[in-house]
Structure 1
Amino acid sequence: MAHIQCGRNILRQITKDTRLHSSDRVMNPLLYVGQGVRYRKLEVILTTSIDKLGKAGETVEVAPGYFRNYLMPKLLAVPNIEKYAYLIREQRKIYQPKEVEEIKVVKDTEEDRMKEYQSAAKRLDNARLVLRRFIKIDNELRSPVTKDELVAEVARQLCVRIEPENLHLPSPLSSLGEFEVPLRLPKAIPLPEGKVQWTLTVKIRRK
């Protein structure tokens, strides 16, 4: 709203400018249309965007009474004469809002996805997932650790999202100890030298 108020102040100053000749005032469109046909339209330049009428800077046709009684007193529009048109053009250059920068979304390539897979695989392979469980007797767990529980703990502890099918776990882990759970990842991911497959180290401790 600040730039609109500033523009209106400029308009008020221009209308009071002593450099405007008396002949310009006599040829004011208001006086001209007042002696014409009753339903004649008046061309005006909008200084502010008005719903269902037009945007700021546009030239529109309105009824003389509407312009005289509403638009002009509030400086929402000015007559379409060269001096006002020049003023509006200069005002728009200064206060026209900047265009929103277009953001282009670049789709991931297959190479990018493979790099993400490799980074996740290294993180899982070098980490140790620690779980605490209650036991019954002989280090047997009260409730075995399932594949879904491992997936949830990987997301919570290691901040890596995997699916249950990424883990090769034929049966739940049912005792305390440290386990190497094989990972089922895309074969295109290069393995470190001397390593046969990606694995996740899971350590289950007494709670």
Structure 2
Amino acid sequence: MKLILTNEVTGLGSAGDVVEVKDGYGRNFLLPRGLATPWSRGGQKQVDALRKAREARVIASLEDAKGVKGQLEARTLTITAHASDAGRLFGAISQAEVAEAAKAEGVTIDRRTVEFPTPIKSTGEHTALVRLHPEVSATVKINVVAG
């Protein structure tokens, strides 16, 4: 099945890429979640629009990405969430919450670039990966406190 990715999918490609995937993966995972649209001849215009939008969001140069990486890795982001007495969260920390915490620290990142190795569902110290550039990724320390 040939699809156009509308969002970045780890291990597959980024927004605007035309990919060939197995029918079940496309039909049962990518399409229902809005991560891709079916490819068509007219879809090429959509691909071009997605690429322009992605280029506007992407950190332009490798040097800028390395600078943002240094800023992120030097800080510990603190996120307040509702939790039980045992430290278990009522829900999980989202990528948007990490992006907001980084913005509060003075570093602007796109929420779509944040990845969690495992979902954050408890208070304490955690880490997340932020893909700033195809060649640069930053490991961010996150401190989740009950609030």
Normalised by the length of structure 2, the TM-score is 0.52
| Selected match of 1:124 from 72, 77, 88 | 72
What residue in structure 2 maps to residue 173 of structure 1? Answer: 120
Relative to 1, partners in 2 of residues 1:146 and 1:162: Cα closer, same or farther, differing over 3 Å?
Answer: same
Q: After TM superposition, give the deviation of residue 164 of structure 1 in Å.
A: 1.9
| Selected match of 2:86 from 112, 131, 138 | 138
Which aligned pairs between 1:1-207 and structure 2 lie closer than 5 A? 113-156=61-104, 158-169=105-116, 172-189=119-136, 198-207=138-147
Q: How many residues align?
A: 88
Where is the helix percentage greater, Structure 1 or Structure 2? 1
For residues 113 and 167 of structure 1, the distance between their equivalents in structure 2, rounded to whole angstroms, comes to: 19
Unaligned segments of structure 1, at least 5 residues? 1-111, 190-196
Unaligned segments of structure 2, at least 5 residues? 1-59
Q: Could you say which structure has the larger radius of gyration? A: 1
Where is the strand percentage greater, Structure 1 or Structure 2? 2
Q: SS state of the match for residue 173, structure 1?
A: coil
Contact 1:147 1:172 in 2 (8 A): no
Supply the RMSD in Å over aligned alpha carbons: 2.1
Q: After TM superposition, give the deviation of residue 180 of structure 1 in Å.
A: 1.3
Q: SS state of the match for residue 132, structure 2?
A: coil
The percentage of aligned residue pairs carrying the same residue is 16
For residues 127 and 143 of structure 2, the distance between their equivalents in structure 1, rounded to whole angstroms, comes to: 9
Contact 1:181 1:199 in 2 (8 A): yes
For residues 204 and 143 of structure 1, the distance between their equivalents in structure 2, rounded to whole angstroms, comes to: 12
For residues 81 and 141 of structure 2, the distance between their equivalents in structure 1, rounded to whole angstroms, comes to: 16
What residue in structure 2 maps to residue 34 of structure 1? Answer: none
For residues 188 and 142 of structure 1, the distance between their equivalents in structure 2, rounded to whole angstroms, comes to: 35
